[in-house]
Chain A
């Protein structure tokens, strides 16, 4: 089962390697890891999507909490989280195909980020499932390159990680 875990950490040198090192040495599998500064520049927020059963996640939270740099760890429940991932896709596109692709983008909520004589670079930000669906639709044109940020997530409603 997939779990989304949000972690607030001190924005110190080496903190990311401490977190990723913990995953590999405790045998936890990470699907994605995204990290960035928060409104407080001394604090970074890490979002990890990991695979495992209830016991694994409990252990993961405890081990993350044990790291000296960790301020807060929260496993977000699937029904209460809002998740997004940004994806850039470069596909083959002749001038004849462009309008067709544009239609797909419009329906799926993607944007054209760049254009060349033979390619289009598409930008889409949504849930992982939505991104995968979009990828399926675009595949027939020939995908040249894909880059994704990894999932970031936040709680729905008024609740925050600090509370």
Chain B
């Protein structure tokens, strides 16, 4: 017999977990006590939501469920935003929270909160452990649920007395979930229907979302697109699937997307949505789109099909499998005219001006990405910095991470920390604004403590720039609650106080030099770019 807390650690070991992100507290102490006896590396973050975001970065790069840990009460509620963020982007997390003692549940004791209740709307599943003997089965199920079908966060809430109970430990080899069987292969009849539809289509378009990345199907998508010569646009979550320079790639669609992609959407006669959920920022008027376009929707989650848009051909299954099936059945085709039409728009060169004394963020991102190695992991935060990155970063084969669904500010630095743990040899760059940076700057401590060469770009416009733009356009330029200049610290001095190399640049010439410094830095680096206050998002 072993302590349940030790069993929890053994469960993680059995799942091949190497790194966990967390923050301790009284109700999770038995687990932490046992964790010291394991080779699993614990990363102490500086606030619990960042444990969740770091786990998210780790999971997205490693392709496997990642673990974050918090204590009961405020520790658990701090974790909520990260859980919701992971849910919105379908990221596989196993979140472990401590809970007050079983006999005290419901008594409103110190640091008690009903976290399974609070997280219920945005977890894939959750467990409140009432019987310690269940733990091995629960952990096995949690990892399986988080990382199969449509990925998502699973929460395991473990009362402190349960952690101290003695149990027989035997990690189950198989899972018995009669109710959960995700569809993997596409229905052959539907595959045929898609191929038929493509035969008659003159202007088809693929819209690829994050589901393609979750399914690790970038290669399959490229094979399919190249065989059929169908142009590709991506959602924000789908960025990086296709190299920016690929002749079939037309950029990100939607409210903050590029002209080529949006023109392609409005002109196409057939649209293959794959691993994309037709979010409002990507497709503003799905009703209008469905009227003029034949919609083929491919997703692993049947509930996504028909939720936001009327679908002509639904196709449920794993994106990778389906693309392989489609590739095997579809005929080669040429669509020279349609591609030429789009390429012409793609090749229009935008006119951009430099404002004296400032770094042009769009030019900067293009220059930065040109210098970064091919396998760079780029993490964008939320706000103008995110859109500047989405539309100007030249993706060459690395990865792009951001909080697309929830738009959670403060995601980039902790997610970059997680990504760096998952791929220590890749260059990892977090791009954020001065607003979002201040929601996460406590994580500079984690970077230093863990000796991580995470690079940070901080776009300082002394504003919450995206809200400022919204107020300018839709609220008669009544700028309110967006001025942060008076509170902004000297970010370079702040980074240096943590022992992080940093510099500030105010012109493009300076910026170009600084990019060299950033790329050559062996340790962490913070580059603050002075950005004009009225710089536009698009």
Contact = CB atoms under 8 A, between A and B. Distances in A.
A46 to B, nearest CB: 14
Interface stretch (B60-68, B118-126, B525-533): B118-126
B349 interface: no
A62 B183 CA distance: 14
Interface string A60-76: 00110110111100000
A25 interface: yes
Given A13-B128, A68-B145, A68-B180, A59 B307 contact: yes
Contacts of A85: none
Contacts of B178: 71
A58 interface: yes
A109 interface: no
Nearest to A61: B303
B177 A68 contact: yes
Interface string B101-120: 00000000000000011001
A51 interface: no
A69 B121 contact: no
A62 B120 CA distance: 18
B301 interface: yes
A18 interface: yes
A10 interface: yes
B306 interface: yes
Q: Max chain B CB contacts within 10 Å: which of A10, A13, A62?
A: A62
Interface string B301-320: 11101110000000000000
B521 to A, nearest CB: 45
A75 B175 CA distance: 29
A62 B179 contact: no
A18 B126 CA distance: 10
B179 A10 contact: yes
Given A14-B128, A21-B121, A71-B178, A65 B303 contact: yes
A118 interface: no
Contacts of B128: 13-14
A110 to B, nearest CB: 40
A62 B302 contact: yes
Q: Max chain B CB contacts within 10 Å: which of A10, A68, A69?
A: A68
A58 B304 CA distance: 11
Nearest to A58: B306
B275 to A, nearest CB: 16
B139 to A, nearest CB: 15
A18 B120 contact: yes
Contact of B120 (A13, A17, A66): A17
Contacts of A59: 303, 306-307
Interface string A20-53: 0100010000000000000000000000000000
Nearest to A42: B178
Contact of B179 (A14, A21, A63, A70): A70
Given A68-B177, A71-B178, A21 B120 contact: yes
Given A10-B179, A14-B116, A59-B307, A65 B302 contact: yes
Contacts of B116: 14
A71 B306 contact: no
Nearest to A64: B303
Contacts of B145: 68
Interface string B279-313: 00000000000000000000001110111000000
Contacts of A14: 116, 120, 126, 128
Contacts of A17: 117, 120
Nearest to A72: B179
B471 to A, nearest CB: 30
Contacts of B180: 68
Q: Max chain A CB contacts within 10 Å: which of B116, B124, B179?
A: B179
Contacts of B121: 21, 25
B179 A69 contact: yes
A64 to B, nearest CB: 9
Interface string B493-532: 0000000000000000000000000000000000000000
B120 A68 contact: no
Q: Max chain B CB contacts within 10 Å: which of A14, A21, A70?
A: A14
Contacts of B126: 14
Q: Max chain B CB contacts within 10 Å: which of A63, A66, A70, A71?
A: A66
B306 A66 contact: no
Contacts of A18: 120
Contacts of A66: 301-303
B454 to A, nearest CB: 36
Nearest to B120: A21
A71 B301 CA distance: 16
A71 B116 CA distance: 22
13 contacts: A13-B128, A14-B116, A14-B120, A55-B306, A59-B303, A62-B305, A66-B301, A66-B302, A68-B177, A68-B179, A68-B180, A70-B179, A71-B178
Given A17-B117, A62-B302, A68-B180, 8 more contacts: A10-B179, A14-B120, A55-B306, A58-B306, A62-B303, A66-B301, A68-B177, A71-B178
Q: Which 9 A/B pairs are nearest by Cβ-Cβ distance?
A: A62-B303, A68-B125, A66-B303, A71-B179, A25-B121, A68-B180, A63-B303, A21-B120, A62-B302
